[in-house]
Structure 1
């Protein structure tokens, strides 16, 4: 649930895609079906795994840091290689690269389901992320390469509708499979879908390529950004267990910072950069991406921990936890047409300031619930307010990005903004995990002091601190003692969760401030097509 539904600007990638290759109406329809199935694989995986994490943590005796790596190993390669995946499709064939992505994703999903321990699961998730980096942009590029400009609006409407359905059923289906069967089925469900998609694409989808000029693959940039993000993520996830003085932690942090600095230098010099820095000279584009970075860090980072709270602390079943965010998805789906017209009526600045402010109120409301309480009076109001805030923001954000650059660069700009949203969530999960762990440990220590636990029981609890609320309490002690201890662990987690949500609210307010400073008050026309400045 750290990435609910579609990230911003995916529609822009479709609408402003390549010149379509001639093909029959029948093949266009099959291509649309393949694109929907491809996107559905990624959408379902992005929401199903979150509700499976508590079960994975319990069955594989994993720490919370391990659970973070299950998400982060996937998100790392998806965020870092997303733009490269699109370039590979343009150069070597969109269908070919899409098929490779589907095959990798499907095989890695099977590998995830067969993992006997947390380490092979993390490795399989990383391979899954590589497959997704080829699959996600490929599914969108197939539409733009097959449908004429005049028909893309209808195609994207169909694609968006099915994506909304997928986003809604994904976490509920995942929760049902986890609760009634096993977390392994959260991954294994991808196998039949992936097999059908591979056969369909192989038989029915036409091949297409982009123009060869300027279509080089920025391999140096891909390596540097992957190393940079991996270094930062490793440092923040592993610091609570290893300590900041550990060579592996500060060494990874230093390597990550240096790699990202070198990435910026490389992108300014390479002929075909995956991240064209010249785009950021446009004020609206820079402001839209600053907003995306801050707001999607808040969204992705905070909602990673929501299923852990619902299942491990509040006592929800996996199915109920998966269904908890359905109001969020329903609000975004129902308001999509209305919010899409806000830029035309009011300009970009007003919705891009008001939307994040409303979202900030939603994040702050998540900090209110303690232990127990009805869903309808605790989490439901916060989810609805957050859904309203994101609904007001997403469509104007996409429009602003699309309108901020020349028409022939709109697809590139959309891809960059999409990648920024994923990288923001990737980094936020790591940073928020560090913050929650530090607060949890401090609060747990204060909660345990008045309990006067037997030394052996206290030692058993402290030895499992890295599991946070997922720790397993030993048997053989009075029920009253275990109940008090269980309450202390839950209270410690809630204390950390509250700070995560308050920081998320602050990030959302900062994103509103970035829109106020950078975004023009009036809707803008796209500038004439011009080459990127050198």
Structure 2
């Protein structure tokens, strides 16, 4: 027995760093992973501020907005669909290996995005970026779950959550500066040096963790991918086809219904799969995992949908440049950046509901405040106030939700759990991106009957709209902003059902 233990120790020292007896501080590895994680999350929102410029360059002739929104949706869809599998890949082949492969794919796809000559090729490279991001994301949470003890995980997830929140807000700011200074292509080229630095640091600092053998549920992979694609494609294209026929006898409603039916079949199949289901249903026996998953779905929806109508309003109705538009979001990024780490430290000592409920209410209030201010007469400085409130609210969302979801996970399920959690977050983002496009187009047609195409043409030119169109356009964008404000309130209801983790004593 002693010889065997000694042999295991020697092997472990050479090949792996055990979760239970880490040979070194886990913090340097986490910081290395955060660089790549920050980059892929920035890319979920950086495009929102560049959309008018991308549309002007690559799709200037059409009046509607739905084609350019696919630049975001293709990324999010390719990001979301494989997440259930990529979490398992990390368990099977090691989080470090899968993370490095994903980072390489993402960085090379960024180069392809910046060099794209057409909207179609840009959308294709964005999808490839999404696959790279999907390989990376679950590994960051799995490494935290496996290298930090439960009572110190709040601070680590606080950093992870701060990265999520700040990246979602820095994206539009960085995008505005880059679009104005160098052109839309540079929102992708900037990833190249960051990707190389992140790769080298992760190669050096991230430990090799024990791998766990897994079978892959290919039926589950096929069913989940089909369901997600049908639902998102139907929502994305609904407005363009007026909720009617897409091809021959196929309608939007048929695609949507088919997606929901396949999703139901996937859930049934997962419940019946005994050996290695793609989504272990045991995860959902932990009430906090389930509730945090619902909460992060609403937060993902809000994060993907809130900035699009606001950026179109600032640039087309108010005539701001991309940089000026992005500067309006500075208080948001500053407040989230300062308060998120504080929220993470506080989370190890308090009930997560004390952070989540006020945070979600603050975010909803900030979005309603934006909607009230979004007209042609509001002084620009007034938009800084809801921006600061939004940042303060978001500080109480990302880290607390991630910590609450993963605190009770078995290390063997770290990859599967983080894959499911991130799938729910990203599906929220995909649905938010698709739904906001449909609502924006619908509100344009309602507020500018007969002139919606003129407004769309303005979006294609990248120039400010004429006054007779701008007022109706502003009203349409303000009304669209109420959608994420309402959805995040569903997260408040979910958060009320969380349980205080038992190891906390004050």
TM-score, structure 1 length as denominator? 0.78
Distance in 2 (CA, whole Å) between partners of 1:225 and 1:158 is 30
Q: Which residue of 1 aligns with 2:476?
A: 496
CA contact (8 A) 1:443 1:495 kept: yes
Q: What are the within-5 Å matches in structure 2 for residues 57-136 of structure 1?
A: 57-61=55-59, 63-136=64-137
Counterpart of 1:87 in 2: which secondary structure? helix
Secondary structure at the aligned position of 2:116 is classed as: coil
Give the alignment partner of residue 265 of structure 1, picking from 253, 265, 268. Answer: 268
**Residue 156 of structure 1, CA deviation:** 6.5
Hey, what does 1:189 align to over in structure 2? Answer: 190
In structure 2, distance between residues paired with 1:440 and 1:390: 29
Deviations 1:336-356 (Å, cap 9, x if unpaired)?
355346667763445443332
2:320 aligned residue: 316
Higher mean Cα deviation, 82-91 or 345-354? 345-354
Distance in 2, matches of 1:277 and 1:486, equals: 55
* Equivalent pairs, count: 480
From the superposition, tell whether residues 61 and 162 of structure 1 become closer, same or farther in structure 2 (CA, over 3 Å): closer
* 1:110 aligned counterpart, secondary structure: helix
The equivalent residue for 1:505 is 485
**Could you tell me how far 1:511 is from its partner in structure 2?**
2.5
Higher RCO (CA 8 Å, separation ≥ 6 residues): 2
* Deviation of the 1:313 alpha carbon: 2.2
Are 1:105 and 1:128, in contact at CA under 8 Å, matched by a contact in 2?
yes
For 1:415 and 1:69, locate their aligned partners in 2 and report how far apart those are by CA, in whole Å.
24
Looking at structure 2, the residues matched to 168 and 435 of structure 1 have their Cα atoms a distance apart, in angstroms, of 22
2:372 aligns to what SS in structure 1? coil
Gaps of at least 5 residues in structure 2 are 1-15
Contact kept in structure 1, 2:49 and 2:311, CA below 8 Å? yes
> In structure 2, how many angstroms separate the alpha carbons of the residues matched to 1:36 and 1:78?
17
Q: How far apart are residue 168 of structure 1 and its match?
A: 6.5
Equivalent of 1:46 in 44, 47, 64: 44
In 2: Cα distance, 1:181 partner to 1:490 partner: 27
For normalisation by structure 2, the TM-score amounts to 0.82
Partner of 1:256: 259
Counterparts of 2:166 and 2:244 in 1: how far apart (Å)? 47
After superposition, the Cα gap between the structure-2 partners of 1:323 and 1:19, relative to the gap in structure 1 and judged at 3 Å, is farther
Structure 1 CA distance, aligned partners of 2:342 and 2:207? 35
User: What is the distance in 2 between the residues matched to 1:59 and 1:514?
Assistant: 42
| 1:220 aligned residue | 219
Q: 1:519 aligns with which of 478, 483, 498?
A: 498
Change (3 A) 1:243 1:182: same
Aligned residue in 1 for 2:459: 470
Q: What residue is the counterpart of 1:331 in the other structure?
A: 335
Equivalent runs, 1:373-392 vs 2, <5 Å: 373-377=378-382, 379-392=383-396
- 1:209 CA drift (Å): 4.4
- How big is the shift at 1:401? 2.6
1:530 corresponds to = none
8 Å CA contact 1:31, 1:201 repeated in 2: yes
Aligned equivalents of 2:172, 2:185: Cα separation in 1: 15
Does structure 1 residue 291 correspond to structure 2 residue 295? yes
Query: Matches of 1:519 and 1:207 in 2, distance apart?
Result: 34
Per-residue CA distance 1:189-242 (angstroms, 9 max, x = gap): 112332344455556755444222xx3333333332222222122112212222
What is the match of residue 13 of structure 2?
A: none
Q: 1:101-141, CA deviations, whole angstroms, 9 ceiling, x for partnerless residues?
A: 12211221111111111111111111110011112223454
Distance apart, 1:437 and its partner CA: 0.8
Matched, 1:244 2:233: no
Structure-2 separation of matches of 1:468 and 1:443: 16
Quote the residue 1:423 is aligned against: 427
Structure 1 position 436 matched with structure 2 position 437:
no
Q: Deviations over 1:324-376 (max 9, x none)?
A: 22222222232235534666776344544333222221121111120253332
Give the match for residue 211 of structure 1: 212
In structure 1, distance between residues paired with 2:153 and 2:350: 26
Asked if the contact 2:110/2:191 (under 8 Å) is kept, the reply is yes
Which deviates more from structure 2 when the two are superposed, residues 158-167 or residues 503-512?
Answer: 158-167
Question: Secondary structure, in 3 states, of the residue corresponding to 1:519?
Answer: coil
Residues 302 and 429 in structure 1, CA contact (< 8 A), matched pair in contact too: no
Cα separation, 2, equivalents of 1:293 and 1:168: 18
